[in-house]
Amino acid sequence: MATATAAKKKMVRINGCVAAAQAAKYADVDVIAAYPIRPYTATMMALAQMVANGELDAEYIVADSEHSQLSISHGASSCGARVFTGSSGVGVQFAYELYSPISGSRMPVQMMIADRTLDPPGDFGSEHTDALSTRDMGWLMGWSCDAQEAFDNHLMAYRIGEDPRVLLPQMVCQDGFFVSHITSDVELPDSGQVKEFLPPYKHPYPLDPRHPVSHGPQIMPEQGPPLQLERARAMEDSMAVIEEVHDEFAKIFGRRYDPWVEEFMTDGADVVFFLQGAHAVTARFAIQHMRDKGLKVGLVRLRTIRPYPTDRVKEVLSKFKVVGVIETNMGLGGVSSGGVLYGEVCAALYESDRRPLVLSFMAGMGGEAIVLKEFYWMAERMLDAQKRGKIEKRTHWVGFEE
């Protein structure tokens, strides 16, 4: 087992990449599988320094590709190591083969994602499509909106994924640049607190020459479904664990997050934005300005998309008249002809007695910032729909319409 240097609680000013690296250090990871790609690279640079400086005793393996990164992670986790890896954009895609095997063999690998738009062309701005394209591969997944939350999510994800009731890999996502490269104040905990919160990783059947076992053997077609069912159960069973862990995190570290959704100024709101990740920060300012004008606008930020909190989303969003989903992802030819989040929202609301109208906004694409006036424009579309009691147009490409 690697041993991180003991540290006292302190405030530091770091960006999201370094926050993720710090979290890996505090989690005392055993194996780090690295391969560079913007914007997540800075995380691996920070970890390389920590290992080089002796702050962290871990195997730091530079892979020859993302596919190898994830293969290394799979193998290392199978042997009982706590593993940290990460990627961005097309790098996430290149490792695609490994996502199902890792979750199927129930290896709690952790992968940091700093989002990047997929090619073409070589746009390096943040867009969630990279990670979201893997959303059904059996990985726990959620977005942070700032560096502190990123740090906290990484620690919590290890605790959740390694819980014997769960044993699933985790994608801990943050927007490229908006979180990964913007510096903010982050409270780093006392290492004793982390020790209390995160027990050492222990897989029930690690690869060990003294007790040979077979991981991922070939099976008969009829033997597949029970395994899939068990993976589905693990994903569902993780929901209770996620709630427990968030409670315990709050107790130990003093920061309390709703595990599923953050509601911001939703009291008395008629229309709400529904989004994931960094644009929530801008949204909060926009909402405050609109509230000052007397407009009943609020924000619901999804913190965990896998497992998807269907009932919670239904319960929360049913309170409002209009929901504006800000996608920040591509779902070409999909249910809304826009992003994939719209479908998830609508499906959750389908069984509601009080279904709000749902609009889909294609905003923040390609890593563009969603500026305040775009939030106002979107709010106008939502209020208009509220007034009419129906929607004229389901999906809007923000910035490209009058």
Partner 1 sequence: MSTKGTHIPERLKIPFAGITPAPTQEKGQDLFPTGNWRSIRPVYRDKLPPCNNACGTNEKIQGYLDLVKRGKYLDAYALIKEDMPFPSVTGRVCYHPCEQACNRGKYDEAISIRAVERFLGDLGQALKRDVVKAGKSNGKKVAVVGSGPAGHSAAYQLARLGYGVTILEKSPKAGGLNRGGIPDWVLPQDVLEREIKRLVELGITIRTNVEVGKDVSWDDLKKDYDAVVLAVGLTEPNSVRAEGENKDGVLYGLPFLRDIGMGTSKVKLGARVAVIGGGNTAIDCAREALRQGAVEVTMITVEGNREEMPASPEDLHDMLEEGVELMHGHAVTAVLGNGKVETLQLHPARFSGAINASPITVNREVPAEQFHVDHVIIAVGQHASLAWLPAEFKTERGTIKIDRFGRLGDTNFFAAGDIVQLGSGQPLMVVNAVGDGKRVAFNLDKVMRGESLEPRTIPIDVIFDLNRMNMTYFPHFPRVHQTLLPPASRRKTQQEVIQAFTEEQAVEEAGRCFSCGTCNACDNCYLVCPEPCIARPARSNGLYKILVDYCKGCRVCIEECPTGCLEGVPELDFDTGVVRMDTAFAISPGLHGRQAEELRHLGERAAKNI
Contacts to partner 1 by CB under 8 A: 104-106, 167, 204-205, 212-223, 225-227, 229-230, 232-233, 236
Min dist CB 73 to partner 1, Å, is 16
Instruction: Retrieve residue 237's tokens.
Output: 């069973």
Min dist CB 219 to partner 1, Å, is 5
Min dist CB 185 to partner 1, Å, is 39
Output 49 or 223, the one with its CB closest to partner 1: 223
Phi, psi of 61 (to 5 degrees): -110, 120
Min dist CB 141 to partner 1, Å, is 18
8 Å CB contact between 280 and 253: no
Output 55 or 237, the one with its CB closest to partner 1: 237
Output 223 or 288, the one with its CB closest to partner 1: 223
Output 108 or 338, the one with its CB closest to partner 1: 108
Min dist CB 346 to partner 1, Å, is 18
Residue 388 amino acid letter: R
Angle at CA of residue 150, ends 145 and 154, nearest 5°: 145
Output 222 or 267, the one with its CB closest to partner 1: 222
8 Å CB contact between 83 and 77: yes
Output 222 or 353, the one with its CB closest to partner 1: 222
Quick one: CA torsion of 237, 239, 240, 242, rounded to 10 degrees?
Answer: 120
**Packing angle between helix 372-388 and helix 279-292, nearest 10 degrees?**
60
Min dist CB 211 to partner 1, Å, is 9
Output 310 or 337, the one with its CB closest to partner 1: 310
Angle at CA of residue 183, ends 180 and 184, nearest 5°: 115
Residue 70 DSSP label = H
Q: Which residues pair with 143 in a beta bridge?
A: 173
**Packing angle between helix 224-253 and helix 147-161, nearest 10 degrees?**
130
Min dist CB 235 to partner 1, Å, is 8
Kind and range of the H or E element at 85? strand 83-87
Which residue in 133, 304, 180 sits closest to 235, CA to CA?
Answer: 304
